[in-house]
Amino acid sequence: MTRPQIRPGHIALVASDTDEATQALTALAARYGNASPEDADVIVALGGDGLMLQTLHRFMNSGIPIYGMNRGSVGFLMNEYREEDLLARLAAADVTTIHPLFLQAVDQSGGHHTARAINEVSLLRQTYQAAKLRIFVDGRRRLDELICDGCLIATPAGSTAYNLSAHGPILPISAPLLALTPISAFRPRRWRGALLPNRAVVDIEVLEGGKRPVSAAADHTEIRNVSKVSVREDTASSCVMMFDPEHGWDERILSEMFRY
């Protein structure tokens, strides 16, 4: 995607409710103004990765790029915070378009739910009982029974988040792949997950859901007591992110791959 034209006075600022983030918003607004999102060429998000995800969800499909600056704790999705030269940084930033996952779930009562995830869709046990799952890929049964704490399907954008903590693979941002990763698999103990093409549809059935209840989460949205879920990439939806070229997403992912 080509870099957008950023006009002075057409920057919208959003911030988390921490002191550090609200002080940054006040300082940047005094320098660059604070346009309404409807009139903005770019939205600058001030906080951590949680705020960035919320902002990406809020402005999904708007076409407005989001440029994050870290005023939180983790900040993998964020750029370094500096007050100076913001217009020049925005003009030079690399632009990446990403597609979320689309979750369709049915709960134990027969209710239907949908949600989208930029990082991952995860299934997690709700009690001390391990989850028991059956996994299909493109309609073909691939794993008859996975006994585990849960499993997740991660996008390249989310592969360095919960997926990495669960020992899943890191995916380059432009890779046409999804990561299917078990969480504390008990049986089959040696199964480490799978790399799937991003066009794949993953269906997961919850076995013995009354005895072994399972929740499904798509980023910040949680659905309790699911009986089955279907997950695919939503190519009709998109988010636009901006990164400083010296610390772009490819560089961040490569750095994470060689971290020890």
Contact between 148 and 165 under an 8 Å Cβ cutoff? The reply is no
17, 49, 219, 244: the catalytic one is 49
Rama region for 117: left / alpha / beta (φ>0; ψ in -120 to 50; rest): beta
pLDDT at 10: 93
Q: Please tell me what DSSP assigns to residue 7.
A: -
pLDDT at 260 over 90: no
Helix (H) or strand (E) holding 162, with range, is helix 162-165
> Looking at the chain, which residues constitute the CATH 3.40.50.10330 domain(s)?
11-98+238-257
Provide the 10 A C-beta neighbour count for residue 136: 16
Task: Identify residue 206 by its one-letter amino acid code.
Answer: V
Active site residue 138: no
Give the right CATH number for 11-98+238-257 from 3.30.470.20, 3.40.470.10, 3.40.50.10330, 3.20.20.70.
3.40.50.10330
pLDDT at 73 over 80: no
First to last CA, the chain: 33
Tens digits of residue pLDDT in 206-254? 999 999 999 999 999 999 999 999 999 999 999 999 999 877 667 777 7
What is the average per-residue pLDDT within 105-116? Answer: 98
Task: Identify residue 154 by its one-letter amino acid code.
Answer: A
Share of the chain above pLDDT 70, in %: 97
pLDDT at 126: 97
Compare 10 and 74 and report the one with higher pLDDT: 10
pLDDT at 256 over 90: no
Q: Which residue has the tokens 């964020």?
A: 78
Q: How confident is the model at residue 146 (pLDDT cuts 50, 70, 90)?
A: very high
Annotation: binding site for NAD(+): 49-50, 119-120, 149, 157, 160-165
Annotation: binding site: 49-50, 119-120, 149, 157, 160-165
What is the average per-residue pLDDT within 1-8? Answer: 74
Provide the 10 A C-beta neighbour count for residue 107: 19
CA distances for 168 relative to 75, 98, 109, 222, angstroms: 20, 20, 32, 22
What is the average per-residue pLDDT within 77-83? Answer: 92
pLDDT at 52: 94
What is the average per-residue pLDDT within 89-103? Answer: 94
Q: How confident is the model at residue 75 (pLDDT cuts 50, 70, 90)?
A: confident
Tens digits of residue pLDDT in 55-70? 999 999 999 999 999 9
pLDDT at 1 over 60: no
Provide the 10 A C-beta neighbour count for residue 135: 20
Q: Please tell me what DSSP assigns to residue 31.
A: H
SS3 for 39?
helix
> Looking at the chain, which residues constitute the CATH 2.60.200.30 domain(s)?
101-233
Question: What is the pLDDT of the chain when averaged over all its residues?
Answer: 93
pLDDT at 170: 92
Homologous superfamily of the 101-233 domain (CATH): Probable inorganic polyphosphate/atp-NAD kinase; domain 2 (2.60.200.30)
For residue 140, list its beta bridge partners: 137
- Among 255, 253, 232, 250, which residue's Cα sits nearest to residue 96? 250
Range scoring the smallest mean pLDDT among 14-23, 71-80, 206-215, 229-238? 71-80
pLDDT at 246: 78
pLDDT at 93 over 90: yes
CA distance 206 to 186: 16
pLDDT at 257 over 80: no
pLDDT at 166: 95
CA distance 216 to 230: 11
Predicted TM-score (pTM) of this structure: 0.90
CA distance 93 to 229: 37
pLDDT at 172 over 80: yes
DSSP 45-66: EEE-HHHHHHHHHHTTTS---E
Provide the 10 A C-beta neighbour count for residue 181: 26
pLDDT at 2: 64
CA distance 91 to 97: 17
- Among 238, 206, 240, 233, which residue's Cα sits nearest to residue 218? 233
